[in-house]
Amino acid sequence: MNKNSNTYIFIYASLMVVIVAVVLTMANLTLKPLQQKNVKNEKMTEILSSIGIEANAENAEQLFNQYIREEIVITASGEVVGVYRDGALAEGTERAFDIDLKKELNKQIKTGDGHFPMYIADNNGERLIIIPLLGKGLWAKIWGNIALKSDLNTIYGANFGHESETPGLGAEISEPKKEGKKVFSDQYDGKQIFDAEGNFQSIICVKGGVANQSKVAPEHGVDAISGGTLTSNGVTDMINDCLVNYVEYIKKNK
């Protein structure tokens, strides 16, 4: 067959497409378990970080099993529909770690039937409740975790992540904790999500700083990122929209 003919070129190109497709498919199948493990380890690392436990890919699972005593799935009405402990389901059919939070938040909006994950941790004898967060930033999704003390009101710690916020501005929400330097997430330590009367207040990012206004009580506010107002607003909305689904559970279990 003439190598310069259209038929030869078409057959050659078709074979190359098939070969490349097969190679890519095999690579995807081979790498998928590793990718899934990396995602799992990253999620565990972020959950642990909210209670001040630093983990990495090598020890994330070990530390997660050490500090996380239970995983609980609840409804927005405060009903417990799943409990996972000691490596097995003790109640229900869902493990909190496997829940797709985005899917459940959307389900809650559409049908009022969302299921929400939470984690019960023990850090130096202190019982902590970790609640995962998911929302929208300036450009794409943002996420995080908030850990509550045993009073189910006071924040023990928090961390945040983003997909594509602006470096030096909105991206500061994810700056890791550093000794001797205060970062955005440090502001949440000690804040309270309920007021003295037991009303849910959430935590608000205040443009211009909490100290420079009177609308938001200091215990319910943090300073917004300078130059990152839209990202800060996204964090405010994310915290409120996620925590509101845990209010009934908290009221029943205080």
pLDDT reported for residue 36: 77
Closest CA to 94 of 112, 113, 109: 113
- pLDDT digit string, tens, across residues 16-31: 777 777 776 676 666 5
Please provide the average confidence, as pLDDT, over all residues in the chain. Answer: 91
Please report, for residues 14, 94, 121, 194, 196, the alpha-carbon distance to residue 150 in angstroms, rounded to integers and kept in the order given. 63, 24, 10, 14, 16
Q: Please identify which residue in the block is written with the tokens 């190679």.
A: 23
| 127 phi, psi to nearest 5 deg | -85, 125
Mean pLDDT by 10 residues, the chain (254 residues): 61 74 68 72 96 93 96 98 96 96 97 97 94 95 97 97 86 84 94 96 96 93 94 97 98 90
Closest CA to 139 of 173, 172, 166, 159: 166
Please report, for residues 40, 52, 180, 205, 235, the alpha-carbon distance to residue 186 in angstroms, rounded to integers and kept in the order given. 25, 11, 12, 13, 14
Q: Which amino acid appears at position 129 of this protein?
A: I
Contact of 136 with 237, CB cutoff 8 Å = yes
Please report, for residues 2, 21, 30, 71, 73, the alpha-carbon distance to residue 114 in angstroms, rounded to integers and kept in the order given. 64, 39, 34, 16, 10
> How many other C-beta atoms are found inside a 10 Å radius of the C-beta of residue 160?
28
> Which residues neighbour 98 within 8 Å (Cβ) at sequence distance 6 or greater?
none
What is this structure's pTM? 0.86
